[in-house]
Copies of this chain bind each other. A is one copy, B any other.
Amino acid sequence: MATDTSKYSFNHTMLRVKDPQASVKFYTEILGMKYITKHDLPDAKATLYFLAFVDAVPESQKEKLKLAFSHSGVIELLHNWGTENQPDFSYNNGNKDDVGRGFGHTSVLVDDLKEACKRLETLGVKFHKKPTEGGIHTVAFIADPDDYWVEIIGNPLYTGENPL
């Protein structure tokens, strides 16, 4: 039995999304991730979308999937076909008491929190918490199109100080 976990690595976080067009737009245009590829699951009537902070996306679908399943910190979005046309449909973002909390958020590191938040405000992004609000002023929380929380944090490698 292999007991060696030294080649193990973190891959992705999967979130179900109502409208993949809106979500892909958010994670690429607002957060700056690259859209890697999608993969249809016809039996499940669903499609997976893969996004990540990568320098470049290869051309072939084989190389795209290889990247999606080897990179650390991929966002995998699962779209169950048709939900985007159901006005009352929404997913649980994990932060609502009345439907049970659990998952909290994903987080994105930026080089300059103040500048990043200024840009996000200009782009009309919804904030759950601005840096000036609450007890911890070194982070912000924004909402993705399904109201999943995304924490925005200054990367200490750029800011020179830890957020906590």
Contacts and interface: CB of A to CB of B under 8 A. Distances in A.
Interface of A: 1-3, 5-16, 31-33, 39, 43-44, 48, 52-53, 62, 65-66, 69-70, 72-76, 78, 91-94, 96, 99-112, 115-116, 118-119, 122, 135, 146, 148, 151, 153, 155-158, 162-164
Mostly helix, strand, loop or mixed at chain A's interface? Answer: mixed
Interface centre among A7, A53, A118, A146 (most CB of B within 10 A): A7
Nearest to A28: B5
Contacts of A158: 7
Contact of A11 (B5, B103, B104, B107): B107
B65 A164 contact: yes
A138 to B, nearest CB: 9
A17 to B, nearest CB: 9
